[in-house]
Structure formats: structure tokens, C-alpha cells
Structure 1
Amino acid sequence: MNRRYSPTSSRRNRPAPTPSADQIAVAPEAARSGVGAALLEAVRTAGRTAGRTAGCRRVVTDVWNFNEGARAFYEAAGFSPMNLRLDQPL
């Protein structure tokens, strides 16, 4: 019997849901004041409570490669690169 994933397969065969911490931004004058860290901590708190109850095991975010400040912010918060998306104009 083929045990590949399908939408009707049992819960234990499905990938865990993954919340995404997207669109976290602060006004330029609030940069490096702790506001972004507080927003991110609120997402983490929600992930630890409701997320774990729903079966989530991690939280992810997307960051533009050129945005070195955002990359440094997330890496300092414990995020690490997971994949690399490549782009080519048509």
C-alpha cells in the first residue's frame, strides 16, 4: 500500500502546521528601540500557547536577501536560514 501524504491521510502523516511571522515592521524612528523584539516575542508567545496546541513545532518568516538589518534581527532572535529562494526575471 502506498503511504504517501494525501489530504485525507491520518493526522500523524500530515506535516505540522507552521505559523509565519510575516510583516513585522516598525516606524523608522522606532528602529532599534525594542519594539520589533516585543512584536516578535508576542508571536512566539502565541506560538507556544495556541500553536503548540494545534501541533506547530516552529515559526518561520521570510526576509528579502538584500535586507541585512532584518536578517541580522531575526538571526539574533534565534532564527536560522532554512531554504533559499532564487529568482530570475522573465
Structure 2
Amino acid sequence: MTDRTDETRIRRAQPRDIPELHRLLRQVADVHHQGRPDLFRAGATKYDDGELAGILADESTPVFGMFAADDTTLLGYAFCVFQRNDGNHVLTDITTLYVDDICVDETARGGGVGSALYRHVLAFARESGCHNLTLNVWSCNPGAQAFYERMGLTPYKVGMEQIL
């Protein structure tokens, strides 16, 4: 599945996209570090090159990117993971598409990139026979939470903490 306009294209990310994925992963890391410096290291990113290559090669962890017309500049991405509750004594046996990470380049925010990516991922989940799509959002990122609510997501569980 590929969504395309004259200026952008959404497609599966490929190994050649790893440098651009790192560029946006650093932006996500910065947002998290600013919101929760007690939990997130400054300048750290979630994956190294080898881990990213493994994710991109695995059909159970699709990564979608919205690329500019040059097909190399990454405007946004969505890292996804298929999840199942096989053999769980309590939960039903459904397939979920979990959005592990979504990011829009700070220079492209407000231009519809996030909405287009989310709609693409939602259509992919439906085509893949998923029962639902889930994600987590940090409470220190209210802009992201408001975006997801505009996209139609609703809370289904809440994580809580008490700092000691």
C-alpha cells in the first residue's frame, strides 16, 4: 500500500532510510527528555543501525514513512508492531496493530503529515485484519495526546506512577 500526492509519498521504510529515521528518532528523544529528564537520557535514541535494520526486515514490525517528493527526505514515520494474545487466560485472541512510535519532523508539523500517516496506518491495520489499533502517549506530551484524540482514539487503559 502506498499513498501518494504530487509532493509526498507514504511507503514502507527501507534500509536506505535509516539515516533519516535516526534524524526523527532524535527529535522524539528530545521531546521525551524535555518532558521527563528523570526517565529519558539526553541525546539518546531508541535504536542503533543494526536494530533498525532488523526492524525494517521483520514483517511483524512494519515502519511507514511519509517522504517528500525527492523520496529521501523523511517528513514523518510510524513504527508499528503486530501483537496477539495467543493462549492468554483472560484476554481474547485478537490481533492488534500497536503504534510503537510516531513522529512528524518539527519543520513539517501542522501540515497534515501526522494525519495522513495515521490514516495510512489505520487503513493498513484494517487491511491486515486487526481488531484494533493501540498506542501509548506520555502525559508530558499533551500535544500528541490531543492529536490522537482528534484522530478518534480514546483511552483504554491508564498508566500511573508515584515517584519515590
Corresponding residue for residue 7 of structure 1: 87
Unaligned runs of 5+ in 2: 1-85
State the 1:15 CA deviation: 2.3
State the 1:8 CA deviation: 9.1
Which residue, 14, 33, 39 being the options, matches 2:111? 33
How far apart in 1 are the matches of 2:88 and 2:136?
Answer: 29
Matching of residue 69 in structure 1 with residue 143 in structure 2 = yes
Bigger fraction of residues in helix: 1
Q: Give the TM-score, by structure 1 length.
A: 0.75
Q: Deviations over 1:47-67 (max 9, x none)?
A: 1101x1xxx211001000121
Q: Kindly indicate whether structure 1 or structure 2 has the higher relative contact order, using CA contacts under 8 Å at least 6 residues apart.
A: 1
How many aligned positions are there? 79
Return the letter of the residue paired with 1:73. Answer: F
What is the correspondence of 1:14-25 to structure 2 with a 5 Å cutoff? 14-25=92-103
Unaligned runs of 5+ in 1: 1-5
In structure 2, the CA distance between the partners of 1:66 and 1:30, relative to structure 1 (3 Å rule), is same
State the 1:22 CA deviation: 2.3
Query: Which structure has the bigger radius of gyration?
Result: 1
Percent identity over paired residues:
33
CA RMSD after TM alignment: 2.4
Corresponding residue for residue 3 of structure 1: none
